[in-house]
Amino acid sequence: MQDVSNAALPPKWKNLIVAARSARAHAYAPYSEFAVGAAVLTKAGDIFAGCNVENASYGLTICAERTAACAAIAAGQRDLVAVCISLIGTPVPCGACRQFLNEFNPSMTVLLDNPNTSADTEPECVLLSELLPRGFRLER
């Protein structure tokens, strides 16, 4: 687990970042070799983590954000307050994950974490609605 020692970050964000970074270590990415970790914070205050899980049939790959969200849903927690994405590079959720997360809270907070940055660097913090304006909802 990597340290997140920036004192300015609220504890709930710190824990979320630590969970995303830890989950990244479990990424199953033998094809892309691109490890991604994610963690969601629920309204109840619980954190659920996930990592990308690839497949020999490439299109079956599941992104880290979706495995984290599914872990929360499977535990009966659908109120997602925030998500942290942790990867070395430019940490943003892909379009499919934006839509997937939009299902549960279009205005959730999204923390974009690069675990290679120094502990003093706060991850960029955006709203899902900024990343996915006019996300699709099945409203008749």
If binding is defined by CB under 6 A, does position 54 make contact with ligand THU?
A: yes
Measure the CA–CA gap between 106 and 103, rounded to whole angstroms: 7
Candidates 48, 72, 93, 128; binder of ligand THU (CB under 6 A) is 93
Beta-strand relationship, 109-113 and 80-86: parallel
Among 19, 64, 72, 128, binds ligand THU (CB under 6 A): 64
Interface with ligand THU, residue 105, by CB under 6 A: no
Q: Based on the number of CB atoms within 10 Å of its own CB, is 6 exposed (0-12), middle (13-18) or buried (19 or more)?
A: middle
Q: How far is the CB of 92 from ligand THU (least distance, A)?
A: 7
Q: Which of 33, 65, 103, 130 is catalytic?
A: 65
Residue of 96, 110, 40, 109 lying closest to 68 (CA atoms): 40
121 counts as binding ligand THU under rule CB under 6 A: no
Nearer to ligand THU, 65 or 113 (CB): 65
Whether the Cβ atoms of residue 38 and residue 67 lie closer than 8 Å to each other? yes
Tokens describing residue 26? 């479990």
Q: CA 20 to CA 36: how far, in whole Å?
A: 8
Number of residues forming the site for ligand THU (CB under 6 A)? 13
- CB-wise, 96 or 119, nearer to ligand THU? 96
Structure-token pair, residue 123: 């991850």
Q: How many other β-carbons are positioned within 10 Å of the β-carbon of residue 97? A: 25
Among 5, 12, 32, 46, binds ligand THU (CB under 6 A): 32
Q: Is 139 a catalytic residue?
A: no
Query: Which positions are annotated as active-site residues?
Result: 65
Interface with ligand THU by CB under 6 A: which residues? 29, 32, 34, 36, 52, 54, 61, 63-65, 93-94, 97
